[in-house]
């Protein structure tokens, strides 16, 4: 009997989410929030562009009001390199903070997570990076408190257990993933996103849409192998009835607000919509997983330093096309959630409409036309496909078995999208 049970797929799912606070004015409460976590001295991680935008002032005046000692590290990089994270760790060691506040996009929040990990437990960054590049060591326990305040609506890093590092010399982006990396509190205040430029809004918004579509169509939890022990059940454990609620809503919300947020940056209703849509998408994908667009995007980002959101955006139509035969019904749902009229269509025709809808949205908001427009060279496709195979953690979510040849075909097809 036990032998038979070992051969069966998983039959259990779990669900995790960060504490969250949402609304116009939520960021004014950060001083009180960090104090309630027992932090009297904090390191505020951000980047130069966000410092210049003035939104950090909302946070610092709240910290001043509560008499919290804080030090600002404003040299976080987009797609952070290991070097920049090590610099931040050195700075943090001098300060010896009791907690962290990150104000920025996914890169800033990811940098804060990694610095928090090393400051709390020591060791080298690569000790914690997923194998085969790193040793895959889990954190020994909870990290120091971290409040994440996103200034973009997309990555979902404010509730995700993952952080990405760019190993520039190896031209490779790698991740650290563990539930202890989830920020203690996510503060979503739409005012923090109004200075986000249209191109970044489009890129981050498409990242969020790829999380939403990916988590709705990824493998179901009971289509994945049973882990040997409960502790080995991965963070991205497959879609469940609960993740479906968040992913389907996220697709609808993002489809309603992304164009508005790109073309009307100060439209607070659209900004709030995108924050909620991206957060729902993040709740869904950080439990369910994503499609192979994310795995394929990492070697591209590592090699060409292309923005994460735009990279997954240009890959998404080809990846959806590849995954479509795994479940036409699911992709027909996606078409409907995106606002397509599918009345009278067969399930196959309706499913294909989901790809058309994604391409139309990308064209409308100025996403570059395929990998070629991002500078990807056709001759690099074999190497990119090979490197993608190292991203098994993410490839495991593909609802259709995927080979190196399939990845090459997806890359070729994504060179031009419309
Ligand atoms: Fe993403």
Q: Mean per-residue pLDDT for 331-351?
A: 97
Given a cut of 90, whether residue 192 has pLDDT beyond it is: yes
What is the distance in A from the centroid of ligand 1 to the CA of 309? 6
Given a cut of 70, whether residue 3 has pLDDT beyond it is: no
Residues of the chain with CATH 3.40.50.1970: 25-188
Residues of the chain with CATH 1.20.1090.10: 198-413
- Report the first-to-last Cα separation within the chain, whole angstroms: 54
Instruction: Give tens-digit pLDDT for 108-167.
Output: 999 999 999 999 999 999 999 988 888 989 999 999 999 999 999 999 999 999 998 888
- Token pair 């025709």 in the structure block, residue: 349
Instruction: Give tens-digit pLDDT for 199-240.
Output: 999 999 999 999 999 999 999 988 888 888 887 777 788 999
Task: Select from 329, 415, 393 the least CA-distant residue to 130.
Answer: 393
pLDDT at 300: 95
What is the distance in A from the centroid of ligand 1 to the CA of 240? 19
Is residue 313 a contact partner of residue 200, using CB atoms and an 8 Å limit? no
pLDDT at 170: 79
Average pLDDT, the chain: 94
To the nearest 10 degrees (0 to 180), the angle between helices 308-323 and 293-304 is 140
What is the distance in A from the centroid of ligand 1 to the CA of 344? 34
Residues forming a β-bridge with 180 = none
What is the distance in A from the centroid of ligand 1 to the CA of 391? 14
What is the distance in A from the centroid of ligand 1 to the CA of 176? 14
Given a cut of 60, whether residue 1 has pLDDT beyond it is: no
What is the distance in A from the centroid of ligand 1 to the CA of 44? 23
Q: For residue 405, give both structure tokens.
A: 């040849």
pLDDT at 130: 81
What is the distance in A from the centroid of ligand 1 to the CA of 211? 6
CATH topology assigned to domain 198-413:
Dehydroquinate synthase-like, alpha domain (1.20.1090)
Distance, CA of 100 to CA of 113 (rounded, Å): 9
Instruction: Give tens-digit pLDDT for 69-107.
Output: 999 999 998 878 899 999 999 999 999 999 999 999 999
Instruction: Give tens-digit pLDDT for 387-415.
Output: 999 888 789 899 999 999 999 999 999 99
Residue 6's pLDDT band (boundaries 50, 70, 90)? Answer: low
- The helix/strand count (H/E) of the chain reads as 17, 8
Distance, CA of 181 to CA of 211 (rounded, Å): 19
Residues forming a β-bridge with 104 = 150
What is the distance in A from the centroid of ligand 1 to the CA of 342? 28
Distance, CA of 67 to CA of 62 (rounded, Å): 9
Q: What is the CATH number of domain 25-188?
A: 3.40.50.1970
Instruction: Give tens-digit pLDDT for 283-334.
Output: 999 999 999 999 999 999 989 989 999 999 999 999 999 999 999 999 999 9
pLDDT above 70 covers a percentage of the chain that reads 98
What is the distance in A from the centroid of ligand 1 to the CA of 270? 21
Distance, CA of 323 to CA of 345 (rounded, Å): 20
Measured from the Cβ of residue 203, the count of other Cβ atoms closer than 10 Å reads 27
Residue 243's pLDDT band (boundaries 50, 70, 90)? Answer: very high
pLDDT at 74: 96
């Amino acid at each position: 009997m036990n032998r038979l049970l070992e051969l069966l797929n998983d039959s259990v799912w779990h669900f995790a989410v960060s504490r969250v606070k949402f609304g116009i004015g939520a960021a004014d409460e950060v001083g009180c929030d960090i104090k309630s976590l027992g932090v009297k001295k904090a390191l505020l991680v951000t980047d130069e562009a966000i410092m210049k935008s003035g939104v950090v002032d909302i946070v610092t005046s709240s910290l001043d009001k509560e008499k919290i000692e804080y030090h600002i590290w404003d040299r976080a990089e987009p797609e952070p390199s290991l070097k920049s994270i090590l610099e931040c760790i050195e700075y943090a060691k001098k300060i010896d903070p009791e907690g962290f506040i990150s104000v920025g996009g996914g890169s800033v929040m990811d940098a804060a997570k990694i610095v928090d990990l090393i400051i709390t437990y020591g060791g080298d960054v690569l000790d914690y990076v997923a194998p085969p590049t790193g040793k895959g060591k889990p954190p020994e326990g909870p990290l120091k408190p971290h409040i994440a305040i996103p200034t973009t609506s997309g990555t979902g890093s404010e509730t995700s257990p993952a952080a990405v590092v760019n190993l520039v010399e190896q031209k490779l982006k790698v991740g650290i993933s563990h539930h202890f990396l989830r920020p203690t509190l996510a503060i979503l205040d739409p005012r923090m996103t109004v200075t986000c430029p249209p191109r970044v809004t489009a890129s981050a918004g498409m990242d969020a849409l790829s999380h939403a579509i990916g988590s709705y169509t990824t493998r179901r939890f009971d289509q994945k192998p049973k882990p040997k022990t409960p502790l080995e059940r991965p963070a991205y454990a497959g879609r469940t009835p609960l993740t479906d609620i968040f992913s389907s809503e996220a697709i609808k919300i993002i489809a309603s607000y992304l164009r508005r947020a790109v073309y009307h940056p100060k439209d607070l209703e659209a900004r709030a919509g995108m924050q909620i849509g991206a957060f729902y998408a993040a709740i869904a994908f950080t439990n369910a997983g994503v499609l192979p667009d994310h795995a394929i995007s990492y070697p591209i980002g590592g090699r060409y330093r292309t923005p994460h959101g735009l990279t997954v955006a240009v890959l998404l139509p080809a990846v959806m096309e590849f995954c479509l035969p795994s479940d036409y019904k699911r992709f027909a749902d996606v078409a409907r959630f995106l606002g397509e009229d599918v009345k009278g269509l067969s399930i196959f025709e309706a499913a294909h409409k989901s790809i058309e809808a994604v391409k139309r949205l990308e064209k409308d908001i100025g996403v570059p036309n395929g990998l070629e427009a991002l500078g990807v060279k056709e001759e690099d496709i074999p190497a990119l496909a090979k490197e993608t195979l190292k991203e098994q953690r993410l490839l495991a979510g593909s609802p259709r078995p995927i080979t190196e040849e399939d990845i090459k075909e997806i890359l070729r097809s994504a060179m031009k999208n419309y």
